[in-house]
Amino acid sequence: MKENIVLQFGKYSNYLGTHFWNAQDTYFKQSADELLIDHHVMYRPSSTNRRKDIYTPRVLIYDLRNGFGSLSKYNEPYQLNSEDIEGEKNGLTTEIYEIEKYPVHPFQFSSMNSNSAILSSEAITSWSDYNMVKYHSHSLHQLLQYDIYDESFSPFYTFDQGKELFYDISKENDIFESHFRPFLEECDNIQGVTVFTEINSGWGGFSSSFLDSIRDEIPKLCIWTFSIDTETDNDIQALLSIHDTSSIFSILNKKSGYNHKKFNLNSIWHTSAFQSSAIESLLIPCHSNVNFMSMSDLTSLMNIYSDRKMCFLKIKLENSMLGWLGLKLENSAESSLEIFRGDKNQEAISTTKNFSISTT
Reported as a single tens digit per residue, the pLDDT across 227-272 is 986 555 557 888 889 999 999 998 887 665 555 666 777 788 888 8
> How confident is the model over 116-129, as a mean pLDDT?
74
Whole-angstrom Cα distance, residue 294 to residue 194?
12
How would residue 284 be classed by pLDDT, with cut points 50, 70 and 90? confident
Q: What is the pLDDT of residue 225?
A: 96
Q: pLDDT of 316-328, one tens digit each?
A: 665 544 444 555 6
pLDDT at 84: 36
pLDDT at 22: 92
What band does 117 get if pLDDT is binned at 50, 70 and 90? low
If pLDDT is split at 50, 70 and 90, which confidence band does 129 have? Answer: confident
Q: Are 164 and 157 in contact (CB under 8 A)?
A: no
pLDDT of residue 67: 87
Which is higher by pLDDT, 117 or 349? Answer: 117
Of 326 and 16, which is predicted with more confidence?
16
Inform me whether the pLDDT recorded for 68 exceeds 90: no
12/269 Cα distance (integer angstroms): 9
Residue length, the chain?
Answer: 360
For 191, residues 6+ apart whose C-beta sits below 8 A from its C-beta are 2, 3, 4, 41, 222, 286, 294, 295, 296
For 156-181, what is the mean pLDDT? 93
Residue that wins the pLDDT comparison between 142 and 86: 142
Can you tell me the mean pLDDT for 56-73? 86
pLDDT on residue 76: 53
The average confidence (pLDDT) of the chain is 76
Res. 158: pLDDT tops 60: yes
C-alpha span between 220 and 301 (Å, rounded): 17
Mind listing the pLDDT tens digit for each residue in 29-44? 876 656 778 999 999 9
Query: What CA dihedral angle connects 135, 117, 14 and 25, to 10 degrees?
Result: 50
Which of the pair, 163 or 274, is modelled with greater confidence? 163
Section 288-305 average pLDDT: 83
Quote the CA–CA distance of 95 and 322 in Å, as a whole number. 43
All structural domains of the chain, each given as residue ranges with its CATH number in brackets, are 4-306 (3.40.50.1440)
Q: What percent of the chain has pLDDT over 90?
A: 31
pLDDT in tens, 133-149: 889 888 999 898 888 77
Answer yes or no: is pLDDT of 355 > 70: no
Residue 252 pLDDT: 83
DSSP character string of 256-319: -----TT--TT-HHHHHHHHHHHHHHHTGGGGBSSS---HHHHHHHHTSS----EEEEEEEE--
Question: Could you tell me which of 252, 254, 246, 157 has the C-alpha nearest to residue 206?
Answer: 157
Determine the pLDDT at residue 147. Answer: 83
Q: What is the model's pTM?
A: 0.83
Supply the pLDDT for residue 20: 94
CB of 66 within 8 A of CB of 14?
no
Which of 4-8, 22-26, 173-177, 277-281 bottoms out in mean pLDDT, i.e. has the lowest? 277-281
Q: What are phi and psi of 244, to 5 degrees?
A: -65, -30
The pLDDT assigned to 350 comes to 39
